[in-house]
Structure 1
Amino acid sequence: MKNKITTIGNLTIDDIVLCDTAEIYLASIGGNALFSAIGARIWDAAPLIVSRIGKSFPIEFKQQVKVLGINTALIPMACNDIRNWALYEPGGARQFVNHMTSGSHYDMSITAAELPKECWDADGIHVAPMPTDVQYDVLKAIRQLKNKGTVVSWDPHEYYLSQPDFNKMAYEMLEMVDLFLPSKEEVTAMCGNRDIYTCIKEFASRGPTVVAVKMSTDGSIVYDKSSGDFYHVPIINSITKDPTGAGDAYCGGFLNAFIESGDAVLAACSATVSSSYIVEEIGAINKLKADFSTRNFRYERIRYNVKKY
C-alpha cells in the first residue's frame, strides 16, 4: 500500500543558469513542496502538495503532476508567484535571487488556517522551508489535528533563522516533530560555529527521534536518538545537470522510508537515492518523468558504504 505523504511549502517559477555549461532554462516549475513530493514519489508514495500559487502560475501544472502520481491542494492568491534566478556558479556554489517582481515568501507561504482537510489523511507530513513564524503556526496546527501515528518532518529556512526571535522559535518547534532534516547551513544559522555533533544531540534532546543533516556533496550525518549513534551516509556519484531541489527530495524520500522501516539509516539511504535522481535531470517535471528502475541498486550501494561513528 502506498504511503500518503503531505508536503507543505512553496511552489516557485525558476530561471536556471548553469555557468559551467553556459545553459539557461527559463520558467521551470520548482519549489520545495514539489521537490519533496518527488523525493517521496520516487519510492512509489502517494504525495499531496499543499501550497499557495500566484496569479501567473501555469494552469496546466495540476494535471501535469497528477498523471505522474502527485495530487495537489493549491490556494490561489491575487499576487505574484515566487520567481527566482537559480544561479549555479563554477565549482558548485549557488544562490537564488528573486526577480524584482517576485512575490515574497510571506505572500506565497500557506498559513495554518488555510491547511485543507485532505492533508490530515496522511501517513507522513513534511513541512518544507518557509518563514519560521509561518512554519511554527503550521506545525502547531499539525500537532493538534494530525492522526495518531502520523510522522512529521521539518526542514527550516536558513534565511530566517538568523533572526533571534525566530531562532528561539525554531528550538521550540523541535518539540513538535519526529524528524528534523536541516542542511549544514541551517544548523550553523541555529547554533553558530559550535561542534555540529553537539548541536545535533541538543536538537534531538528537544524532541525529534531522528536528526539528519544534509551536507551537500559530503552526504548526510544521521543521528538516531534511540541508540545514541551517529552515521555518515555518503552520496552516490551522479552526473549532475541541475542540483535544484536535491535537498528537498532528500526530505521526501527520508520521510517515506522512515514510515516504512522506522530505521533512520535506511531512511537516509532511500533519501540519498532520491537526491541522486534529482540532480540528473533539468527541471522538476523532467525529474519526475525520469526512469527510477535503478533505485534498489543505488540503495544497496549507498547502504554498503554507510559508516557508523
Structure 2
Amino acid sequence: MIPDLVTVGGLTVDNVVAADGTVGLAKAGGNGAYSAVGALMWRPAVGLVSAAVASYPRETIRRLESGGLDLGGVVWRDEELTSSNWFIYDAEGRREEGLSSPPGALAEAGFPTDRLSPSQTSQWREILRARSTTNEISYSEFRNRHPLSQRQIPPAWKDTRAVLLAPSQPDVMHEMLDFFKPGGAVVIADPGWQLAEHKLDQLAPLLSKLDAFLPSEVELRALVPGADLEHALRVLSDYCPGALAVKLGAKGSLVWNRVTDTPASVPAEATETVDPTGAGDSFCGGFLVGLLETGDAVQAARFGSMSASRIVAHFGADGALLAHPDGASALSQKAAMECR
C-alpha cells in the first residue's frame, strides 16, 4: 500500500532534563519520528524515509509500526552510537544545543537518573559543556556519513499525496523534491539550522518548489537578519510561493496571509508540558495533514498546534501513542472531533 503521507528525517536517541528536573533517559526521537507521529494523529498510516542505527530501540519501532508508521523507506545501518544528545530545558522551554554524552554518563558522574535539583541540573550542564566528544560517534556524525537518498525510497511512493521534509542539508532536500514533486505531491519543509545557516538567495531554487515553509522564530531571524517577524515573513514570501508560518513555541504560530499581506496569529493548544522535544516537528506533521485536507494555511496551523500539544505531554516520539493504546486511529478520531 502506498502511504498517503511521507515524512523524511532522522531517528535519534535523546536524553532530556525537563524544566522541573525530571530526567528522561534514552528516549527514542528524531525529527523524522516526531514529524511522522504528528501526522499519525490525523491519519492511520504515514511513511518514513530515514536511516537508523542498530542501537535505536526496537521496542519503540514496534510501537511506531503498530501505530501506523510504514518503515519501507528506512535503511538500517549496522552501527551503534557511542554518544547521544542532551536536551536541558529552562522554565521558558528554551534549551541549549550541542550537548552530548555516552548513555550512562549521568549515573557514572554520581547524579540521580530520575530527577535533578536545580543545582544538579546546572552542574550537569557544565560537565556536558566541558567534556570532549572527539572520539565519540554521535548522531550528527552518523547522519553526515549516511545521508538520505532517493535510492532507499520504495518506487511506488512516488505517488504519495504529501511529503514533509524535516531538517536536512539542502542537497538532501533537493534530492527528495526531485523524487516526490514530479508525481504531484504537496511538499513542505521545516528548515532547521541546516537551511537557516544559508542565505535566502542560495535557497531560492529550493524554496520556489515548496508548498509550505515552516521555520522557527530563531530560524526565521537567521534567514532574514534584523527584521521583525512580520517583515521577515513578507521577505520570505518573495522566495516561497507556498504557505508560510513561523513557529513560536508556547506562543503558537504566525501564518502569512498573502491576500492581506499580513500575518494571522494561531495560538498554541493549552496543555501541560512534560517534554517540549519534538514540538516543532510534530507541528509540521499536523500542518501537512491540515494543508492537505483544507488547503488553508491557518487551518493547517490549528492541526499542527493540536499535534504539538499531544507530543509535549509525554516523553519520547512514541509517548502519545503509548498514552493511547488503541494507536493512532484513536488519536486521529479524537483530534478530528476537537478541531471541528
| TM-score under structure 2 length normalisation | 0.78
SS at match of 2:34: helix
**Contact 2:37-2:318 at 8 Å conserved across structures:** no
1:303 maps to none
2:38 maps to 39
Segment of structure 1 superposing worse, 188-197 or 108-117: 108-117
The structure 2 residue matched to 1:147, chosen from 158, 183, 194, is 183
Distance 1:90 1:268, change over 3 A: closer
1:276-291 equivalences under 5 Å are: 276-291=309-324
Distance 1:40 1:160, change over 3 A: closer
Gaps in structure 1 of 5+ consecutive residues: 301-309
Q: For residues 174 and 219 of structure 1, what CA distance do their matches in structure 2 show?
A: 23
Q: For residues 202 and 78 of structure 2, what CA distance do their matches in structure 1 show?
A: 29
Segment of structure 1 superposing worse, 171-180 or 79-88: 79-88
CA offset digits 1:49-69 (Å, max 9, x no partner):
110112322334433211111
Q: What CA RMSD, in Å, does the superposition of the two structures yield over aligned residues?
A: 2.4
SS at match of 1:29: strand
**Contact 1:209-1:224 at 8 Å conserved across structures:** no
Q: For residues 237 and 220 of structure 1, what CA distance do their matches in structure 2 show?
A: 14
1:248 maps to 281
- Percent identity reads 30
Distance 1:90 1:235, change over 3 A: closer
Offset, 1:208: 2.9
2:228 maps to 195
Q: For residues 3 and 261 of structure 1, what CA distance do their matches in structure 2 show?
A: 19
2:65 maps to 66
Aligned residues: 293
SS at match of 1:280: coil
Equivalent position amino acid for 2:139 in 1: G
Kindly indicate whether structure 1 or structure 2 has the higher relative contact order, using CA contacts under 8 Å at least 6 residues apart. Answer: 2
1:157 maps to 192
1:116 maps to 154
Equivalent position amino acid for 1:254 in 2: F
Q: For residues 157 and 204 of structure 2, what CA distance do their matches in structure 1 show?
A: 25
2:139 maps to 103
1:26 maps to 25
1:1-309 equivalences under 5 Å are: 4-18=4-18, 20-72=19-71, 73-81=73-81, 83-96=84-97, 97-99=99-101, 100=133, 101=136, 102-104=138-140, 105-143=143-181, 146-148=182-184, 150-158=185-193, 161-163=196-198, 168-225=201-258, 228-291=261-324, 292=331, 294-296=334-336, 298-299=338-339
**Contact 2:3-2:70 at 8 Å conserved across structures:** no
Q: For residues 108 and 172 of structure 1, what CA distance do their matches in structure 2 show?
A: 24
Distance 1:182 1:119, change over 3 A: farther
Distance 1:296 1:238, change over 3 A: same
SS at match of 1:176: coil
